[in-house]
Structure 1
Amino acid sequence: MRYLITLFLSLAVLITAGCGFRLQGTTQVPEELKTLRLSSGDPYGPLARAIRQQLRLNNVNLIDENLQNVPILKIVGSSENTTTVSIYQDGKSAEKQLNFWVSAQIILPNGTVYPIKTRVERAFFDNPLETLAKDAENELVKQEMREQAARQLIRKLLIVHSSIQNEPEQSVAVEKARAEDSE
């Protein structure tokens, strides 16, 4: 019986490892972006903390020194917007839509800048009878939105990686087009 359980567990491990199974929330960050410097206007704010946490969860080495050969993840800005979606009969807001935008840039050591933008939306039901609970829930939802935006930014590092790989091909195509135009 013990042999059968061991065999079954070994088989389960091999199947999940062989099919490319990964834990939710982890992204394969490209090697050239495994070491980054995080630059933000508010380095200790909630968004910068969420991004720093996601980078560490994805095994990205964050450095504080201003080295020339290290890419920079620069948080350009973020904004929040609240829109009333539905109202009660007395005119008070019943449901709100929360929008959160983050704008960032990857600055490579050669000076190339890749802009990254992400947007997160959430619906929030507003109960005017429970003001304290509503405020606490609203803050919790905003923190979850920051964390989701941070996860999206990390996933978009893959897009930067594919752009870096395609860049030599694009520059060759541009040079050929310029040569043909000059003839």
Structure 2
Amino acid sequence: MKTLKQLTCLIGLLILSGCGFELQNTGNLNQKIDSVYIQTLDPYSSFFRSIKDALRNNGVMISDKRDEASYVLVIKEDISSDRILSISAKNTPMEYELAYQVVWSLFKGNQEIISDTKHIETQDYSFDQNQLLGKRKEAEYLNDSLAAKISKGVLLKLGSI
């Protein structure tokens, strides 16, 4: 009985590996994308830094010149914003919502591999006028974490090509 279970499990694994099944985010991205040039309007944004680091950590070479890269990642929109969600009786903000939106596409030569893809992440946080410096740092940290979440989504999409 035990060998039957082991045999069934082995056959299942062979079928999955034979059909090309791969768990998400377990493959090496550098086997699919060896080098990339990142075209952006804002090279100092949280998302640009995050995606650049994420690609490097996955073994992808970041090229400084467009014509030397095998792929071009075009960041068309990279917008972070905030809005007031609630105010106090004294008419001061009590809660904000941060939003980060990125629109990007991927090219190989002149051929568009992935057309305009939009990622939006939001996060709300409480605000206290008496803790202005701390809350400003918290907003920066949350903004960076939203950019990192979007970067992970972009990497998953890039891994599917």
- TM-score grouping bracket, smaller chain normalisation: 0.7 to 0.9
Q: 1:42: Cα distance to partner?
A: 2.6
Structure whose alpha-carbon radius of gyration is higher: 1
**Counterpart of 1:89 in 2: which secondary structure?**
coil
**Counterpart of 1:33 in 2: which secondary structure?**
coil
Q: Where does structure 1 differ by over 3 angstroms across 4 or more consecutive aligned residues?
A: 25-28
| Equivalent residue, structure 1, for 2:77 | 77
| Equivalent residue, structure 2, for 1:49 | 49
Cα deviation, 1:39-78, whole Å, max 9, x if unaligned, reads 2223344332211101011221222233377111111121
Equivalent pair of 2:30/2:58 in contact (CA under 8 Å): no
Residues 50 and 86 of structure 1, relative CA distance in 2, 3 Å threshold:
same
Task: Tell me if 1:141 matches 2:142.
Answer: yes
| Equivalent residue, structure 2, for 1:120 | 121
Give the TM-score normalised by structure 2. 0.72
Q: 1:158: Cα distance to partner?
A: 3.2
Equivalent pair of 1:27/1:155 in contact (CA under 8 Å): no
Gaps of 5+ in 2: 1-21
Equivalent pair of 2:63/2:69 in contact (CA under 8 Å): no
Equivalent pair of 1:86/1:95 in contact (CA under 8 Å): yes
Structure 1 or 2: larger strand share? 2
Q: 1:152: Cα distance to partner?
A: 1.7
| Equivalent residue, structure 2, for 1:88 | 88
**Counterpart of 2:139 in 1: which secondary structure?**
helix
Equivalent pair of 1:71/1:106 in contact (CA under 8 Å): yes
| Greater CA drift, 129-138 or 32-41 | 32-41
| Equivalent residue, structure 1, for 2:154 | 153
Give the TM-score normalised by structure 1. 0.65
Cα deviation, 1:108-133, whole Å, max 9, x if unaligned, reads 22522522221111111111111111
Identity among equivalent pairs (%): 19
C-alpha RMSD over aligned residues: 2.6
Report the AA paired with residue 42 of structure 2: D
Report the AA paired with residue 48 of structure 2: A
Q: 1:83: Cα distance to partner?
A: 2.4
Equivalent pair of 1:26/1:57 in contact (CA under 8 Å): no
Report the AA paired with residue 155 of structure 2: I
Structure 1 or 2: larger helix share? 1
Q: 1:89: Cα distance to partner?
A: 2.4
| Equivalent residue, structure 1, for 2:7 | none
